[in-house]
């Protein structure tokens, strides 16, 4: 596991929101697996980080949780995106795209910043 | 408002803990199960699947703790939890809690008590409008060694009318008056005030009015304003007092107003009446007025001072006759607050520093106790760490416990402060407190409470942090091993030693301060006051000049002496216009016959005292040469004078002064000098205080100038030499005075010993308080040294056992342990000596007759502390010698 990076501070919330948007209601375990898969197993999600993040997002009203039953009949807590969460996701996605495009201009060699 | 919403949800979570806990546990459990399911699917056996899941989960309990952190207001929740643990802990060890809280409460209480005085006297603004713009104006005469003199009516008029810095200037002068007309005659403290006095201070009457312009003219000045307490006590808060008349010095005065409560300027003044100048007085350069002024908006004291600095030259040009001699005359503008606080400020600052030191020492002791307890709690802390408590979390919990101790101590400290403030107020003689601003507000107010709790909190950090950091740094393996033998807790004992060394250093500084003050005080007691203070009774006897004419005044005193000396046990009696050490003096320049003062030369200058023939003998002032006045010279104010030995040596170093003549300018009769022949030389008296140099003294049998002569009769001190304890003669002397005139009030009745002792009241009080604090500091330090050495002995029981098994004699072990205490003491003393030398200059203004680097004090204090340290380590050392090697080694 040492070759996997931990999730960067501040990006986990965005990943969670995006995961919920694309997967619909899903439990914590599913979120963790999904993030790991999406990252091509380059990221490892620690529950000590994920669950507190979920709690915060829920308290801030971006996600909603309810108890449900999983595919193999286990009781599990399911999380889904709220309307506020959807808006936040859009906003943050835009911001991230912008940030990435600016950074890439700085970092890619050869291309002078316009 | 997302953050707000989250806050309320979290606040709610603090109180719905159980449900949330259950849900969290279920959720994590189900996640774990999903992991296991997955692992099973990939072909692991159940046990393997579970372990792999747990491993990849990374600690269920830790995750829970992180979630709790995110979920609730962890701060609040943890605080409640820690407080519960702390209270439980305190209940379990009440002795420990008691000692800690009492130690700290003493320190905090002493600080709060001293601060409450500083709060009122130094920090609180004066109870007047815009008090920071209020200043006083003084003269100084560098060449006469007169640093602070009052001003004259003439100069007052100049400052009032011809300056730009002041919005308004007012003058005042004490006017003690006899009120008659309602039973016993009463002596009142009054003030003559110039027009505008009340508006300079910016105060308004609670009832009626203050003085109108024009009421400061003779003939219109029979009006009076009463202080609130005088009105309440003497007139029973009579609502219809305004317009009524009272009889003062035999004259009718109309009450025009009553001032609001707390306005007494100066303090304890009972009434004010307008100062009406005759035209002669107006042009007088006799300095008898105190000036108080309000600076114009935006004008600083420095600017006003700069303007006043230009005045002496102008005045000298305008009145060439008034300032012929070069006496180094100058004008000072000093803030009213500074004048009122005076020499009390350095004393208060030193006291605050002293109690601060006591509190630091108390903190060090408590820190040591907590460190010792940390050892006892090692296992508890190790277990907490093992089940996932973070170090920061443990530090917080230990600090919370300290905070609870700190707050309890703060609460108890506040109670001690209530008592301490009462004690301070009682200990402070009225002579001292009378002029202190806002003295009546000294007590525990909101600011003192805030201060108290602030120092409790800071204290907590000081005494709690080191033990908390240390206790939380526990080696799990070592602590959890049952019966694990502690190697000597090296780091911890270093901290303990450091604390004790600091305690010793702090205590040394305090002891040096107390020692220096004590030695100053003893030096002061050795000062020869110039008179014999034993068995002398003194009191002010006041004749009302509107009831006594000159002839009556002249015949009153001989009759008085006749009656008083007829009292059995009274040896002699006399009167004087100003008693030594009572701050009542008048001084003036004078001329010597045949020796005119050249322009630019410093004129002879002395305090002058009107005295009866037996005054000098009654007070025990030695007559060195010649004789005192005769009865006749006193009755007729004969042209004679006594001078003191200082004046004799100064002006007649080789001649005999007897028979030479001198004249005071203010005694001029129709422009002609009134020459007085020197008929005697008497000893010099420490008139202005034991600790200051007093001016040379001239005694006169009366005052030729009738204007002054009459004024003096209103304020004569009767001195009576008695055969035994002077206080017991008060009723007999009072009865003797009644035989002459029962309407004469007497007041300020004290023995001369009392006068002597009151004159050093501030010094005695500072010395006693610093001494008290130093004693507490010493006691705490002894406890600290004892604690550390005993702890070391317990820690080293094993080692001691081995040593004696290997043949160490009890003497060697004793030396080893006592040597440890001695080493700490020497370290502490060395640091303390260096610190003292740096700090002690702050008390140099409180010292008298000794140097701030007085070797005797430093050496004796250092030896005292080292001796005490050795004694404090001797007891635990004896215990170490009794260690049975067999038992010590078997305990392995």
pLDDT digits (tens, 9 = 90+) for B404-448: 888 899 999 999 999 999 998 888 877 777 778 888 888 888 999
| Separation of alpha carbons B65 and B77, rounded Å | 12
Least confident of B71-85, B89-103, B840-854: B71-85
At B450, the pLDDT band (50, 70, 90 cuts) reads very high
pLDDT above 60 for B485: no
pLDDT in tens, B747-765: 889 999 999 988 888 888 8
- By CB neighbour count within 10 A (0-12 exposed, 13-18 middle, 19+ buried), where does B836 fall? buried
| Separation of alpha carbons B715 and B704, rounded Å | 17
Beta-carbon neighbour count of residue B244 at 10 Å?
11
pLDDT above 50 for B845: yes
| Tokens standing for residue B414 | 């506040």
pLDDT at A114: 44
Where residue B676 falls (left for φ over 0; alpha for ψ -120 to 50; beta otherwise) is: beta
| Separation of alpha carbons B418 and B442, rounded Å | 11
- More confident position, B693 or B726: B726
pLDDT at A9: 58
pLDDT at A65: 86
pLDDT at B590: 87
pLDDT at A23: 86
pLDDT at B486: 47
CA dihedral B876, B881, B883, B889 (to 10 degrees): 120
B856: contact with A, CB 8 A cutoff:
no
Closest in A48, A70, A75 to B66, CB measured? A48
| Tokens standing for residue B847 | 């010292």
Where residue B709 falls (left for φ over 0; alpha for ψ -120 to 50; beta otherwise) is: alpha
| Tokens standing for residue B25 | 């546990």
| Tokens standing for residue B871 | 């004694």
Q: Kindly report the CA angle at B887 between B883 and B892, in degrees rounded to 5?
A: 115
pLDDT above 80 for B7: no
With a CB cutoff of 8 Å and minimum separation 6, the contacts of B856 are B519
Domain annotation covers residue A91: yes
Parallel/antiparallel/unpaired status of strands B587-592 and B146-149: unpaired
Distance from CA of B57 to the nearest CA of A (A): 6
Question: Which string of DSSP letters, residue by residue, matches B158-187?
Answer: HHHHS-SSEEEEEEEEEEEEEEESSSS-EE
pLDDT above 90 for A53: no
Q: Kindly report the CA angle at B645 between B644 and B647, in degrees rounded to 5?
A: 70
Q: What is the 3-state secondary structure (H, E, C) of B242-263?
A: CCCEEEECCEEEEEEEECCCCC
B34–A76 C-beta distance less than 8 A = yes
pLDDT at B489: 46
pLDDT in tens, B18-64: 777 788 888 888 888 888 888 888 888 888 888 887 777 767 777 77
The answer to whether residues A75 and A69 touch, using CB atoms and an 8 Å cutoff, is: yes
Give which of B176, B196, B135 is closest to B268, Cα–Cα. Answer: B176
pLDDT above 60 for B490: no
Least confident of B112-121, B306-315, B836-845: B836-845
B30: contact with A, CB 8 A cutoff:
yes
3-state SS, residue B582: coil
| Separation of alpha carbons B193 and B663, rounded Å | 31
Number of domains in chain A: 1
At B14, the pLDDT band (50, 70, 90 cuts) reads low
B2: contact with A, CB 8 A cutoff:
yes
B26–A27 C-beta distance less than 8 A = no
B9–A59 C-beta distance less than 8 A = yes
pLDDT at B142: 82
Which residues of chain B neighbour A76 with C-beta distances below 8 Å?
A: 27, 30-31, 34
| Separation of alpha carbons B759 and B748, rounded Å | 14
Sheet holding B536-541, edge to edge: B570-576, B716-722, B536-541, B746-751
A/B interface, count of CB pairs below 8 Å = 68
pLDDT at B259: 92
| Separation of alpha carbons B459 and B410, rounded Å | 10
Which residues of chain B neighbour A1 with C-beta distances below 8 Å?
A: 56
B30–A59 C-beta distance less than 8 A = no
Could you tell me which chain B residue has the CA closest to the CA of A51?
Answer: B67
Greatest mean pLDDT among B426-435, B662-671, B797-806, B857-866 lies in: B857-866
- More confident position, B561 or B440: B561
B69: contact with A, CB 8 A cutoff:
yes
Long-range CB contacts for residues B385-392, cutoff 8 Å, separation at least 24: B385/B472, B385/B474, B385/B476, B386/B476, B386/B480, B387/B61, B388/B59, B388/B61, B388/B62, B388/B65, B390/B65, B391/B472, B391/B473
pLDDT at B483: 46
| Separation of alpha carbons B59 and B878, rounded Å | 52
Mean pLDDT of the region B340-354: 86
- More confident position, B101 or A52: B101
Find the domain containing A73 and state its range: 5-107
Closest in B34, B57, B69 to A52, CB measured? B69
B62–A48 C-beta distance less than 8 A = yes
Domain annotation covers residue A17: yes
Give which of B504, B580, B508 is closest to B821, Cα–Cα. Answer: B504
Residue ranges covered by each domain of chain B: 2-72, 134-341, 344-526+761-890, 543-744
pLDDT at B624: 94
Mean pLDDT of the region B848-872: 89
Closest in B26, B37, B70 to A52, CB measured? B70
At B657, the pLDDT band (50, 70, 90 cuts) reads very high
At B678, the pLDDT band (50, 70, 90 cuts) reads very high
Give which of B696, B683, B753, B719 is closest to B530, Cα–Cα. Answer: B683
Distance from CA of A100 to the nearest CA of B (A): 27
Burial B310-343 (b: 16+ CB within 10 A, else e): ebbeebeeeeeebbbbbbebebbbebbbebbbee
Mean pLDDT of the region B368-378: 78
A76–B70 C-beta distance less than 8 A = no
B49: contact with A, CB 8 A cutoff:
no
pLDDT in tens, B494-512: 778 888 899 999 999 999 9
pLDDT in tens, B579-595: 998 877 788 888 898 88
Which residue, chain included where needed, has tokens 């005065």? Answer: B253
| Separation of alpha carbons B880 and B820, rounded Å | 13
pLDDT at B476: 61
At B184, the pLDDT band (50, 70, 90 cuts) reads low
Parallel/antiparallel/unpaired status of strands A5-6 and A43-44: parallel
CATH of the domain at A20: 1.10.10.10
pLDDT at B600: 65
The answer to whether residues B633 and B640 touch, using CB atoms and an 8 Å cutoff, is: yes
Give which of B619, B612, B608, B671 is closest to B638, Cα–Cα. Answer: B612
Whole-number average pLDDT of chain A? 81
Q: Where are the alpha helices (H) located in B527-621, listed in sequence order?
A: 550-565, 615-619
| Separation of alpha carbons B222 and B249, rounded Å | 11
pLDDT above 80 for B478: no
Give which of B564, B529, B568, B580 is closest to B720, Cα–Cα. Answer: B564
| Separation of alpha carbons B542 and B439, rounded Å | 29
User: What are φ and ψ of residue B825, in 5° steps?
Assistant: -65, -45
| Separation of alpha carbons B210 and B194, rounded Å | 12
pLDDT above 60 for B482: no
With a CB cutoff of 8 Å and minimum separation 6, the contacts of B138 are B148, B149, B150, B151, B291, B331, B332, B334
- pTM: predicted TM-score of the whole model, two decimal places: 0.73
Residue to test with chain B: of A1, A6, A43, A55, most B Cβ within 10 A = A55
pLDDT at A113: 47
């Amino acid at each position: 596991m040492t070759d996997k990076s931990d999730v960067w501070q501040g990006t986990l919330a965005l990943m969670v929101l995006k995961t919920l948007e694309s997967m619909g209601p899903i439990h914590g375990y599913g979120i963790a697996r999904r993030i790991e898969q999406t990252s091509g197993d380059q990221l490892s999600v620690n529950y000590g980080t994920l669950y507190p993040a979920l709690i915060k997002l829920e308290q801030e009203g971006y996600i909603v949780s309810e108890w449900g039953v999983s595919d193999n009949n286990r009781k599990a807590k399911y999380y889904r995106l709220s309307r506020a969460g959807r808006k936040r996701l859009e906003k943050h996605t835009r911001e991230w795209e912008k940030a990435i495009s600016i950074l890439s201009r700085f970092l890619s060699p050869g291309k002078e910043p316009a | 408002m997302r953050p707000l919403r989250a806050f309320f949800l979290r606040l709610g979570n603090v109180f719905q803990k159980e449900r949330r806990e259950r849900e969290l546990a279920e959720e994590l459990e189900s996640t774990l199960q999903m992991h296991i399911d997955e692992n099973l699917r990939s072909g692991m056996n159940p046990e393997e699947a579970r372990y792999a899941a747990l491993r990849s989960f990374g600690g269920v309990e830790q995750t829970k703790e992180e979630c709790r952190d995110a979920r609730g207001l962890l701060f609040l929740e943890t605080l409640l939890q820690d407080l519960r643990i702390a209270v439980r802990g305190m209940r379990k060890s009440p002795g420990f809690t008691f000692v800690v809280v009492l130690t700290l409460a003493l320190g905090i209480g002493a600080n709060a008590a001293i601060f409450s005085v500083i709060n009122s006297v130094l920090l609180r603004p004066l109870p007047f409008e815009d008090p920071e713009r209020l200043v006083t104006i003084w003269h100084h005469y560098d060449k006469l060694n007169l640093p602070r003199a009052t001003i004259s009516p003439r100069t007052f008029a100049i400052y009032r009318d011809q300056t730009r810095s002041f919005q308004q200037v007012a003058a005042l002068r004490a006017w003690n008056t006899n009120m008659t007309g309602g039973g016993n005659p009463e002596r009142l403290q009054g003030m003559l005030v110039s027009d505008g006095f009340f508006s300079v201070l910016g105060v308004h009457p609670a009832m009626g009015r203050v003085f109108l312009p024009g009421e400061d003219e003779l003939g219109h000045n029979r009006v009076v304003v009463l202080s609130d307490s005088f009105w309440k006590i003497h007139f029973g808060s009579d609502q219809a007092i305004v317009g009524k008349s009272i009889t003062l010095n035999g004259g009718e005065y109309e009450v025009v107003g009553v001032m609001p409560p707390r306005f007494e300027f100066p303090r304890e003044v009972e009434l004010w009446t307008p100062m009406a100048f005759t035209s002669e007085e107006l042009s007088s350069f006799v300095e008898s007025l105190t000036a108080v002024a309000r600076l114009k908006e935006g004008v600083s004291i420095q600017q006003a001072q700069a303007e006043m600095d230009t005045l002496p030259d102008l005045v000298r040009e305008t009145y060439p006759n008034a300032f012929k001699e070069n006496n180094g005359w100058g004008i000072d503008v000093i803030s009213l607050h500074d004048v009122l606080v005076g020499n009390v400020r350095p004393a208060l600052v030193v006291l605050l520093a002293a109690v601060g030191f006591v509190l630091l020492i108390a903190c060090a002791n408590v820190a040591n106790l907590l460190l010792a307890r940390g050892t006892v709690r090692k296992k508890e802390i190790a277990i907490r760490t093992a089940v996932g408590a973070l170090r920061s979390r443990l530090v917080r919990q230990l600090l919370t416990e300290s905070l609870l101790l700190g707050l309890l101590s703060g609460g108890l400290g506040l109670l001690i402060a209530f008592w301490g403030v009462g004690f301070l107020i009682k200990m402070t003689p009225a002579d001292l407190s009378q002029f202190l601003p806002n003295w009546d507000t000294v007590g525990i107010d909101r600011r003192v409470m805030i201060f108290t709790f602030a120092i409790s909190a800071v204290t907590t950090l000081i005494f709690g942090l080191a033990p908390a950091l240390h206790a939380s740094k526990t080696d799990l393996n070592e602590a959890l091993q049952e019966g694990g033998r502690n190697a000597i807790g090296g780091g911890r004992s270093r901290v303990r030693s450091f604390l004790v060394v600091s305690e010793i250093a702090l205590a040394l500084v305090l002891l040096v301060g107390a020692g220096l003050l004590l030695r100053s005080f003893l030096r002061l007691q050795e000062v020869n006051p110039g008179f014999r203070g034993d068995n002398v009774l003194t009191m002010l006897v006041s004749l009302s000049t509107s009831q006594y004419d000159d002839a009556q005044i002249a015949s009153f005193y001989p009759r008085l002496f006749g009656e008083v000396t007829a009292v059995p046990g009274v040896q002699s009696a006399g009167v004087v216009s100003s008693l030594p050490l009572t701050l009542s003096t008048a001084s003036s320049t004078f001329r010597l016959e045949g020796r005119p003062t050249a322009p630019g030369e410093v004129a002879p200058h002395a305090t002058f005292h009107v005295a009866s023939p037996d005054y000098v003998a009654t007070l025990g002032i030695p007559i060195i040469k010649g004789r005192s006045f005769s009865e006749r010279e006193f009755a007729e104010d004969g042209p004679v004078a006594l001078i003191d030995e200082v004046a004799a040596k100064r002006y007649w170093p080789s001649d005999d002064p007897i028979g030479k003549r001198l004249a005071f300018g203010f005694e001029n009769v129709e422009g002609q000098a009134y020459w007085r022949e020197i008929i005697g030389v008497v000893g010099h008296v420490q008139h202005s205080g034991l600790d200051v140099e007093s001016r040379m003294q001239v005694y006169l049998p009366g005052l030729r100038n009738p204007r002054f002569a009459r004024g003096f009769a209103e304020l004569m001190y009767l001195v009576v030499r008695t055969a035994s304890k002077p206080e017991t003669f008060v009723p007999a002397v009072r009865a003797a005075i009644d035989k002459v005139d029962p309407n004469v009030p007497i007041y300020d009745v004290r023995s001369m010993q009392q006068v002597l002792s009151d004159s050093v009241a501030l010094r005695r009080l500072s010395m006693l308080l610093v001494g008290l604090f130093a004693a507490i500091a010493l006691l705490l330090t002894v406890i600290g040294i004892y604690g550390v050495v005993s702890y070391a002995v317990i820690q080293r029981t094993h080692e001691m056992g081995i040593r004696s098994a290997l043949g160490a004699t009890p003497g060697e072990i004793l030396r080893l342990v006592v040597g440890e205490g001695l080493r700490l003491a020497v370290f502490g003393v060395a640091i303390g000596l260096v610190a003292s030398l740096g700090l002690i200059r702050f008390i140099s203004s409180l010292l008298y007759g000794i140097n701030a680097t007085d070797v005797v004090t430093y050496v004796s204090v250092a030896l005292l502390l080292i001796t005490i340290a050795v004694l404090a380590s001797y007891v635990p050392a004896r215990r170490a010698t009794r260690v049975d090697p067999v038992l010590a080694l078997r305990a392995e």
